[in-house]
Amino acid sequence: MAYSNKVIDHYENPRNVGSFDKSDGQVGTGMVGAPACGDVMKLQIKVGTNGVIEDARFKTYGCGSAIASSSLLTEWVKGKTLDEARSIKNTDIAAELELPPVKIHCSVLAEDAIRAAIDDYQGKQG
Amino acid sequence: MSETQSLIYLDYSATTPVDPRVAEKMIKFLTPDGVFGNPASRSHAFGWQAEEAVEEARGQVAALINADPKEIVWTSGATESNNLAIKGAAHFNERRGKHIITVKTEHKAVLDTCRQLEREGYEVTYLDPEPNGLLDLAKLEAAMRDDTTVVSVMHVNNEIGVIQDITAIGEMCRARKIMFHVDAAQSAGKVPIDMEAMKVDLMSFSAHKIYGPKGIGALYVRRKPRARIEAQMHGGGHERGMRSGTLPTHQIVGMGEAFRIAKEEMAADNERTRMLRDRMWQGLQDIDEVYLNGDLEQRVAGNLNVSFNFVEGESLMMSLKDLAISSGSACTSASLEPSYVLRALGRNDELSHSSLRFSFGRFTTTEDVDRALASLHKAVDHLRNLSPLWEMHCDGIDLSKIEWAAH
């Protein structure tokens, strides 16, 4: 499998690896995928009082493209409002990382992860 | 070539380099000053000399397995041998019955051949192996029926290296007059094979797994009692009508020389590769959650198949850029599916997704193993630091209790 240089860079130097406290009211957590499918992605956002994403963290079990997709996404969502973050498309991720067709599902998973994290955060605000 | 200079080759189960002694011999059967004749040419010395070389090689292949040279049929490799054996025996015995038994962990060349026979109206039983990869003979016995004509069980598994009890299965088949085929591509030259002692009717061999060239193999076809098969390749009636096609003298000579060397050096080769394999396995013991796939005792010397829990196989391979290894078998490593062999052993999905096969051979050194170990430690650390599953495991969460949203 030939990976693009961008995938390799994110894979070797992943950005924003780690975890926030899930129970923190400022934090939204999205965990998507399944071990059976070979990918599990955990994406967390920390949202400021102004509704802007201040910080993000991820951990991903999966192939290099899955790791790169989630790493890239943590960079993209920082500084965005929740609505802006929600509008990120998997096709943008796939295009940026030059993912081959067999790896498109990795970018879909990343899109699912950010939406799940936003939903989780908004659910907490009640 | 320069791209492979710094790569450590630990994929001997996929293929081996040709032993220089083999290559040196092969080159003498190609050029105008060599023995380039068609072995089937009866009217001149070019043909006679080529035929002599082919027959010498036939004797060398037969000698490794204690068989009669007349029982060796040249083919293009083990895939063709498997096709010829299973289809050939099934078709020939069609009037006796149309039931075949094999195992879920067989090579695709056997499984896909059986699928084809199913399309032709045959019935195939695919047995599950035990969790250690070995076949429970009681389950095999229970699957045998009056209309069973062929049983096909591999000697050594290509992914996990386990050795099946061919001698015992042979007795069971012979007692019921069932044709017994064995895929020995991964065992020849590594595990003793004695056709006088083993009641095997048909056995497949490949040259390129034991330092011979690619593109040549053989099928052993027993003479006493006579195993009869229907040809799958028709033409000039070569190989006593069982496999037509001009014999590739240089390939055959290469296979013969590789088998001759294997017979002489098998014991020493095995001792070295077992030492390297054990060094690798020992070196992995300080990593948590590492699992050996397949039985450790009933196993070929040069194979180690390991799962690194909570780490995904493809990304692990990506970290191991300096290692030429495979995740699953070479035939499936391009697909995104976890190993079907490990699944058949009942390994869970995570472990099936995270398996690596290391296979060692004649030209592997201890430095190769030590460098591989250093790379592995680094890669597993890197990926576990990234893995949400590892994090959950460390927090004491039982992953099997979570309802995952499959996608």
Output the six-digit token pair for B201: 């009717």
Instruction: Return the SS3 of B236.
Output: coil
> Among partner residues A38, A109, A112, which is closest to B312 by beta-carbon distance?
A38
The pLDDT tens digits for B38-51 are 999 999 999 999 99
Contacts of B326 in chain A (CB under 8 A): none
Q: Which of B315, B339, B354, B378 to mutate to test the interface with A (most CBs of A within 10 A)?
A: B315
Interchain CB distance below 8 Å, B315 and A40: no
Place of tokens 């096969």: B357
Output the six-digit token pair for B167: 């001698």
Contacts of A41 in chain B (CB under 8 A): 388
Output the six-digit token pair for B127: 């047995």
Place of tokens 């030259």: B189
Instruction: Name the catalytic one among A106, A109, A113, A117.
Output: A106
Output the pLDDT for position B337: 67
The pLDDT tens digits for B34-91 are 999 999 999 999 999 999 999 999 999 999 999 999 999 999 999 999 999 999 999 9
Report the 10 Å Cβ neighbour count for A62.
28
Instruction: Encode B369-380: b = buried (16+ Cβ within 10 Å), e = exposed.
Output: beebbebbeebb
Output the pLDDT for position B407: 56
Known active-site residue B331: yes
End-to-end alpha carbon distance in chain A? 45
Which pLDDT band holds residue B4 (cuts at 50, 70, 90)? low
The pLDDT tens digits for B373-393 are 999 999 999 999 999 999 999
* pTM exceeds cut of 0.80: yes
The pLDDT tens digits for B151-187 are 999 999 999 999 999 999 999 999 999 999 999 999 9
Report the 10 Å Cβ neighbour count for B386.
24
> Is residue B202 exposed (0-12), middle (13-18) or buried (19+ Cβ within 10 Å)?
buried
Output the six-digit token pair for B121: 């109206």
Known active-site residue A63: no
Give the integer Cα–Cα distance in Å for B398 and B107.
34
Question: Smallest CA–CA separation between A89 and chain B, in Å?
Answer: 18
> Among partner residues A14, A63, A105, which is closest to B312 by beta-carbon distance?
A63
Question: Smallest CA–CA separation between A55 and chain B, in Å?
Answer: 17
**Cβ atoms of residues B387 and B359 within 8 Å:** no
Q: Which residues contact B322 (CB under 8 A, 6 or more apart)?
A: B6, B7, B8, B371, B375
Give the integer Cα–Cα distance in Å for B187 and B167.
14
Tell me the backbone φ, ψ of residue B143, rounded to 5 degrees. Answer: -85, -15
Contacts of B406 in chain A (CB under 8 A): 34, 36-37
Contacts of A32 in chain B (CB under 8 A): 405, 407
Beta bridge partners of B324: B9
Q: What is the ipTM score, two decimals? A: 0.94
